[in-house]
Chains A and B, each alone.
Chain A
Amino acid sequence: MSQIGLAAQQREREWVEAALAGDEQAFERLVEAYATPVYNLAYRMLGDPAEAEDAAQETFIRVYQRLHTYDPSRKFSSWVLAIASHHCIDRLRRRRLQKVSLEDLPPWEPLVSREVDPEERAVIRDRNARLQALLDRLPPNYRLPLVLHYWYGLSYDEICEITGLSLSALKTRLHRARLKLADLMRTLAPDLIPADDARTSNPRADRARVHSPKAEGKP
């Protein structure tokens, strides 16, 4: 792990200790660091910004109430993402029980980074919304490993720890999820398919890039 990563983990540990001792500002810093990763996970799992906000908020309530059960030998990010994942799966289960179809949900208004210019933002937003519509068609138990793998750059072991899946089950689900998503993309959103995609070299060489975290905590 890099020096920056270690320093960030050390700082997180200090914030956790301070929050446990009753320092509310330290907890606020933890929330600031994890607001985007947790919100993005909730949005990718639930597909609706308003529900994602609710779920992310509920996740932080649970994090604060269970902070004393956090084991410092584990990565704090994995612990937080596990709480968020379980909460999202619970919500999806309840949604299924209530028989609310995805079509009944309000249309998306996803917030993409405010640093890009408005025109580009509109294009990203449109593509993102259509990708999310495809993700929503995957069963939740296929969607979660895919989201944790691609948006958080987590290793197979870390995803297993968060989801409670065995390594072989995770590999199977990831593979099936990719194939199903590819199939959906071809039939429902062929314009999302990139034009240049012939890979002739082993991606092993640039594995680090594949695993570079996009939404990892950035304290």
Chain B
Amino acid sequence: MKCDEAVERMALAIDGGVSDQEWDRLQAHIQMCQACAQTWLMLQQVDRVLRTAPVVEPPPDFARRAARAAVEANRRCQNLLGGVVLLIGSTLLALLMAATVILARPDFVLVFFAPGGVVQWQRTVRILFEGALLLGRMVWALVGVWQSVLLGPFFWLLVAMMALAGVAWLALVYMAVRLPQRQVVAVRS
């Protein structure tokens, strides 16, 4: 056995990774080679020191504090995510509602720019946004309550119900905006 091979074997032998035959060959080399004997001794010394080194323990209440910090951090992260989802969702819903209004009242631009029209429509737009925000909050609260359901089989049922509620809501908006127009038409005729 040459020194290079002996050092290679030592690296495995220290963890018990050589056969008895290889071990005997290594020992035979070590007895003949002073440099390798020195390396083997150093490896054994460091191995023993590391094997007997203690495990360092954390402060007594560390586990409780760490668990609480993790749960809190996760909650903060979810709240932030919820806020972003709520904002984007509400804006999209309000835009959808506005589109519904424009669809229901094609004369929207004429009415908007008529005397007093701006004030009236500002109120309408505010109601739309507030409505969208309210709907968004309701959805988010429901998601919060049914968080565990999100990963379960009822998730898509919930989504379908939400979609239906959204369509119903938009239909209501459409009808509510359409109604005054009909009345105006009726009075005119």
* Residues of chain A having any CB pair with chain B under 8 Å: 20-22, 24, 27-28, 31-32, 35-36, 39-40, 43-44, 49, 52-53, 56-57, 60-61, 63-65, 110-114, 124, 128, 131, 146, 149-151, 171, 174-175, 178-179, 181-183, 185-186, 192-194, 197-200, 202-207, 210, 214-215
Query: What residues of chain A lie closer than 8 Å to B69, measured between beta carbons?
Result: 57, 60-61
Say if the beta carbon of B42 comes within 8 Å of chain A: yes
Which B residues between 72 and 87 are near A, CB-CB below 8 angstroms? 73-74, 77
Whose C-beta in chain A lies nearest to the C-beta of B71?
A24
Query: Are the C-beta atoms of A31 and B15 separated by less than 8 Å?
Result: no
Say if the beta carbon of B153 comes within 8 Å of chain A: no
Query: Are the C-beta atoms of B55 and A178 separated by less than 8 Å?
Result: no
Q: What is the bound-complex CA distance between A179 and B11, given in angstroms? A: 10
Task: Determine chain B's interface SS by DSSP, over half rule.
Answer: helix
Q: How far is the CB of A88 from chain B (nearest CB, A)?
A: 14
Most buried by B among A22, A31, A36: A31
Pick the residue among B17, B19, B44, B56 that contacts A111 (CB under 8 A).
B56
Q: What is the bound-complex CA distance between A9 and B50, given in angstroms? A: 27
Query: What residues of chain A lie closer than 8 Å to B7, measured between beta carbons?
Result: 175
Query: Are the C-beta atoms of A150 and B50 separated by less than 8 Å?
Result: yes
Q: Knowing A22-B147, A28-B67, A40-B55 touch, does A203 contact B46 (C-beta < 8 A)?
A: no
* Residues of chain B having any CB pair with chain A under 8 Å: 7, 10-20, 23, 27, 39, 41-59, 62-71, 73-74, 77, 147-148, 151
Pick the residue among B45, B46, B73 that contacts A61 (CB under 8 A).
B73
Query: Are the C-beta atoms of A31 and B56 separated by less than 8 Å?
Result: no
Q: How far is the CB of B99 from chain A (nearest CB, A)?
A: 36
Q: What is the bound-complex CA distance between A39 and B55, given in angstroms? A: 9
Q: Knowing A111-B59, A179-B43 touch, does A194 contact B49 (C-beta < 8 A)?
A: yes
Query: What residues of chain A lie closer than 8 Å to B27, measured between beta carbons?
Result: 200
Q: What is the bound-complex CA distance between A35 and B61, given in angstroms? A: 10
Query: Are the C-beta atoms of B13 and A31 separated by less than 8 Å?
Result: no
Q: How far is the CB of A206 from chain B (nearest CB, A)?
A: 7
Query: What residues of chain A lie closer than 8 Å to B41, measured between beta carbons?
Result: 197
Whose C-beta in chain B lies nearest to the C-beta of A24?
B71
7 residue pairs bridging A and B, Cβ less than 8 Å apart: A28-B64, A56-B66, A57-B66, A112-B57, A114-B57, A182-B45, A194-B52
Q: What is the bound-complex CA distance between A131 and B12, given in angstroms? A: 23
Query: What residues of chain A lie closer than 8 Å to B39, measured between beta carbons?
Result: 179
Query: Are the C-beta atoms of A214 and B148 separated by less than 8 Å?
Result: no
Query: Are the C-beta atoms of A197 and B48 separated by less than 8 Å?
Result: yes
Q: What is the bound-complex CA distance between A204 and B23, given in angstroms? A: 9
Query: What residues of chain A lie closer than 8 Å to B48, measured between beta carbons?
Result: 194, 197
Q: What is the bound-complex CA distance between A63 and B74, given in angstroms? A: 10
Most buried by A among B12, B47, B63, B65: B63
Q: What is the bound-complex CA distance between A197 and B67, given in angstroms? A: 43
Q: What is the bound-complex CA distance between A131 and B20, given in angstroms? A: 32
Most buried by A among B44, B67, B68, B71: B67
Whose C-beta in chain A lies nearest to the C-beta of B64?
A28
Whose C-beta in chain B lies nearest to the C-beta of A177?
B46
Query: Are the C-beta atoms of A178 and B47 separated by less than 8 Å?
Result: yes
Query: What residues of chain B lie closer than 8 Å to A181, measured between beta carbons?
Result: 46, 50
